[in-house]
Amino acid sequence: QVQLVESGGGSVQAGGSLRLSCAYSGFTLPSNCVAWVRQAPGKEREVVAGIHLGTPSPRYSDSLKGRATISQDATKNTVSLQMNNLEPEDTAMYYCAAAACTGPTAVMVAAFYIYWGQGTQVTVSS
């Protein structure tokens, strides 16, 4: 059974940084994609960063490009999202999501993911 556990959310002022981590387990297929998906109240889910595990193929949304880095630590089974220069518009619940995949093509599509963590709140104040 796939499990995803997020950590690292919190409250920061605009311009600050946060690092989110997702500990994953239970993958039974050899090729998987993991993404960070956020949802603010009244807004649709948005994939802000995704990665095909084991390959150098990170993808980013336009909203976070240049301000975020997604990375994998295969020794710890974690995927992290480092976010810098945060803006109030980044306030949302951030979820770690995963699915089996054969490549990074669908990594930025929220509907692609079938496994979800419980989420971690990020609040950015102005």
- What's the pLDDT band for 102 if we cut at 50, 70, 90? confident
Half-sphere exposure in the Cβ direction for 63 (13 Å, CA): 17
Exposed, middle or buried by CB within 10 Å (0-12, 13-18, 19+), for 15? Answer: exposed
pLDDT of residue 39: 97
Per DSSP, the three-state class of 109 is coil
pLDDT value, residue 104: 78
Q: At a CB cut-off of 8 Å and minimum separation 6, what does 38 contact?
A: 45, 46, 48, 90, 92, 93, 94, 95, 122
Could you read off the pLDDT of 51-100 as tens digits, one per residue?
998 787 899 999 999 999 999 998 999 999 999 999 999 999 999 999 99
Q: For residues 38-46, give the mean pLDDT.
A: 96
